[in-house]
Amino acid sequence: IKVHLQITDIEYAELQKKLDAGEITLIDVRNPGELIRDGRIPYAKNVVLMSLGGTMMLSPEEYEARLGFKKPELDSPIAVMCLAGIRSLTAQCALKGIGYTNIRKYKGSFEDWVNQGGLVEYTKEK
């Protein structure tokens, strides 16, 4: 039996290229406090891990109203990330569990992005 292994990780260079080209949705599952403290990757969309399942089950209209960006289609290319890559694995499994088919985990996540010299945005506390 041949098992087709899907590439489920994405590395910095490919992610950077796809983000710049608008070819992938990057979902950051860290808590808002972490984004304020550590900064965030430009283009990344924040959907907190604890509410990820419920959030991704919202209707497209409700999703957009609540999060301020379009809900990805089930087959849209999505990358998930967190701080070091642990929570992103949980997010990847959760998204696959509700029917998303094109989910890749950003290996190393935010720590890797910073180590690679990626651009980081800082949000002012409200």
Query: Does 4 score more than 80 pLDDT?
Result: no
* Residue 93 neighbours by CB distance under 10 Å: 12
Q: Taking the model in full, what pTM does it have?
A: 0.91
User: Mean pLDDT throughout 88-92?
Assistant: 95
The answer to whether the beta carbons of residues 20 and 118 sit under 8 Å apart is: no
- Name 27's bridge partners: 45, 80
The answer to whether the beta carbons of residues 28 and 40 sit under 8 Å apart is: yes
Reported confidence tier of residue 5, pLDDT bands at 50, 70, 90: low
